[in-house]
């Protein structure tokens, strides 16, 4: 019976090559965020960043970076976890992030995930495109809630925005006294979680000191996980250098 059931598993042997990004999105988060601050809720952003960071710390799957905005998390894997088994990668990432985010929010939530194989030369462009989406989301959300605040019904505001270009929404808000370029960086550019190398002294036994060594301190490099709430533009020289450097270190 076991072998028969295993033979019926769909896509169980489908594998993906590295490097790859696993992108996770929230399921049904519109209802979850109904009472949240609009257009952005700082507590929710903190919970998303915390979930991504906990994934770094506890999953043992060694992502190089995580980039999150809205209800989305993008995890870059230089090496494919689970020997590239697609179903396992997607299910474990979605399940882990769902659990971490549920704990951070204090209520059960669910995320789905899909894997995106990339060539090494496509990594920077991928994250630049997701950051572009973060900006578009910022412009559209700010415009939408500004119209709702003016008295338009949500469907009327949505209909009006559908006929406007991004630059038009931006200019309309600017004329009302809202300069989106002055918004907090995390709203415009997302949040980047990454590892950095730091030098430091650690207690230990110094080898080669005779009699089995002696106690003391020695300098060692170690990795630290940081949350960057003011990441550079990934299309800029600084942004490309940051992504390339982070990937090379890992």
CA 211 and chain centroid, separation: 49
Residues 27 and 104 in one domain: yes
Domain boundary among 185, 209, 233: 185
Q: Is the dihedral of CA 20, 24, 224, 82 positive or negative?
A: negative
**210-225 mean pLDDT:** 64
Task: Based on the fold, state whether residues 133 and 106 are members of the same structural domain.
Answer: no
Q: 181 and 193 share a domain?
A: no
Instruction: Classify residue 208: in a domain, yes or no.
Output: no
Instruction: Give the tens place of pLDDT for each residue, 91-141.
Output: 999 999 999 999 999 999 999 999 999 998 899 999 999 999 999 999 999
Q: Which domain holds residue 163?
A: 129-185
What b/e sequence results for 208-224 when a residue is b if at least 16 CB atoms lie within 10 Å of its CB, and e otherwise?
eeeeeeeeeeeeeeeee
Q: Are residue 61 and residue 156 in the same domain, yes or no?
A: no
pLDDT at 197 over 90: no
- Going by C-alpha positions, the residue among 79, 67, 51 that lies closest to residue 242 is 67
Residue 3 lies in a domain: no
Query: Tens of pLDDT along 20-78?
Result: 999 999 998 888 888 788 899 999 999 999 999 999 999 999 899 999 999 999 999 99
Within a domain: 1? no
99/58 same-domain check: yes
Looking at the fold, whether 30 and 147 belong to one and the same domain comes out as no
Same domain assignment for residues 167 and 240:
no
**163, part of any domain:** yes
Residue 212 located in a structural domain = no
Would you say 193 and 66 are in contact if contact means Cβ atoms under 8 Å apart?
A: yes
pLDDT for residue 203 is more than 70: no
Percentage of the chain beyond pLDDT 70 is 86
Which of 185, 207, 226 is the last residue before a domain boundary?
185
Is the confidence at residue 222, as pLDDT, over 90?
no
Asked, for residue 206, whether it belongs to a domain, the answer is no
pLDDT of residue 106: 94
Percent of the chain with pLDDT over 90: 64
In a domain, 77, yes or no: yes
Are residue 180 and residue 190 in the same domain, yes or no? no
49 in any annotated domain = yes
pLDDT of residue 31: 81
Q: In the chain, where do the E strands start and end?
A: 20-26, 65-69, 72-77, 111-117, 191-206, 214-228
Determine the Cα–Cα distance for residues 121 and 240; give it in Å rounded to an integer.
Answer: 11
**pTM for the predicted model, two decimal places:** 0.86
Q: Residue 41: which CATH number?
A: 3.30.70.3000
> Which pLDDT tens digit goes with each residue over 139-150?
999 999 999 988
Candidates 136, 137, 133, 115; CA nearest to 125 is 133
* Residues 172 and 70 both lie in one domain: no
Least confident of 152-156, 163-167, 191-195: 163-167
Same domain, 164 and 55: no
What mean pLDDT is predicted for residues 185-195?
95
Q: Are residues 35 and 83 in the same domain?
A: yes
| Residue 70 CB-half CA count within 13 A | 24
Using DSSP bridges, classify how beta strands 111-117 and 65-69 pair: parallel, antiparallel or unpaired: unpaired
pLDDT category of residue 220 using cuts at 50, 70 and 90 = low
Are 25 and 120 members of one domain? Answer: yes
The number of folded domains in the chain is 2
């Amino acid at each position: 019976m076991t072998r028969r059931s295993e033979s019926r598993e769909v896509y169980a042997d489908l594998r993906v090559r590295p490097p790859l990004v696993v992108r996770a999105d929230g399921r049904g988060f519109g209802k979850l965020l109904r009472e949240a601050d609009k257009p952005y809720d700082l507590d929710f952003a903190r919970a998303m960043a915390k979930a991504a960071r906990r994934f770094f710390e506890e999953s043992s799957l060694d992502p190089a970076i995580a980039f999150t905005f809205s209800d989305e998390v993008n995890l870059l894997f230089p090496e494919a976890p689970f020997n590239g088994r697609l179903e396992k990668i997607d299910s474990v990432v979605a399940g882990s992030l769902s659990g971490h985010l549920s704990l951070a929010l204090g209520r059960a939530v669910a995320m789905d995930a899909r894997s995106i194989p990339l060539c090494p030369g496509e990594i920077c462009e991928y994250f630049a495109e997701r950051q572009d989406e973060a900006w578009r989301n910022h412009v559209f959300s700010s415009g939408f809630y500004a119209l709702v605040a003016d008295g338009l019904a949500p469907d009327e505001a949505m209909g009006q925005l559908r006929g406007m270009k991004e630059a038009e929404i931006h200019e309309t808000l600017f004329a009302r006294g809202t300069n989106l370029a002055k918004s907090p960086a995390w709203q415009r550019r997302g949040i980047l979680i990454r590892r950095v190398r730091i030098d430091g002294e650690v207690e230990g036994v110094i080898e080669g000191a005779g009699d089995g060594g002696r106690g003391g301190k020695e300098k060692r490099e170690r990795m630290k996980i940081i949350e960057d709430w003011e990441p550079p533009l990934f299309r800029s020289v600084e942004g490309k250098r940051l992504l390339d450097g982070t990937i090379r270190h890992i």
